Amino acid sequence: SLIDGLSFSLPPNGIVGVIGPNGVGKTTLFKTIVGLEPLDGGDLKIGETVKISYVDQSRSNIDPNKTLWEVVSDGLDFITVGKTEIPSRAYVSKFGFKGPDQQKKAGVLSGGERNRLNLALTLKEGGNLLLLDEPTNDLDVETLSSLENALLEFPGCAVVITHDRWFLDRIATHILAYEGTDEKPDQWYWFEGNFEAYEQNKIERLGPDAAKPHRSTHRKLTRD
């Protein structure tokens, strides 16, 4: 299995950074939470009042023939974001899409533009649990700042998969870190604090070499 014996509780209003090399099960964890991947064992408990907002990083459900404004607004001049009704074009512009940019077809957007579109769709859903998979990829400084502010002001809990340590230093309240070794390839660690505090804690626990980047253990990405 990719993840074995993982146990943690999401803190109220917390922003949890999920870190680790590619291939260790970070995206699988998200897909398990939203029901797209089955559990091999154990329990996943989601409260009755929890509403999850998650956009798959593959972006497979976006119609490439629609403009990005149509994708976000469904063609409506006003949309509801959370519990607030706002002009749809003003909302889309918050994510760096000004004027003519809003008429671009979703199928021809660059990687950074698609990431901003995903962010607009995710925050529009108005859930109280945000699952964001690599949201900072290809973002410009202005949009990255908008993302940080949106997360800090978000009234619920957010879980963010990212390799951007500076982003996690600014916004994370907790870290879920992959610490797998050849002997224990499924080892994860739960920490209260931002990335910088986690790194210091890791050195104190495991020694100076723990701060050096490690490749993920080579093994097949299959389920037992």
Q: How far apart are CA 188 and CA 166, in angstroms?
A: 21
CATH-assigned architecture of domain 1-51+127-224: 3-Layer(aba) Sandwich (3.40)
pLDDT tens-place string over residues 96-125: 898 899 999 999 988 778 878 888 888 888
Q: Residue 216: what pLDDT?
A: 46
Q: 61 or 15, which is more confident? A: 15
Q: How confident is the model at residue 205 (pLDDT cuts 50, 70, 90)?
A: very high
Q: Which amino acid type is present at position 103?
A: Q
- Residue-range domain boundaries for the chain: 1-51+127-224, 60-126
Average pLDDT across the chain, whole number: 83
**Which residue is associated with the tokens 């976000």?**
72
Q: What is the pTM of this model?
A: 0.77
Mean pLDDT of 192-213: 88
Q: How confident is the model at residue 79 (pLDDT cuts 50, 70, 90)?
A: very high
The per-residue DSSP string of 111-172 comes to HHHHHHHHHHHHHHT--SEEEEESTTTT--HHHHHHHHHHHHH-SSEEEEE-S-HHHHHHH-
Q: Residue 16: what pLDDT?
A: 94
Q: Does residue 87 surpass a pLDDT of 80? A: yes
Q: Which of 180, 182, 186, 132 is nearest to 154 (CA)?
A: 132
- Exposure of 135 in the CB half-sphere (CA atoms within 13 A): 30
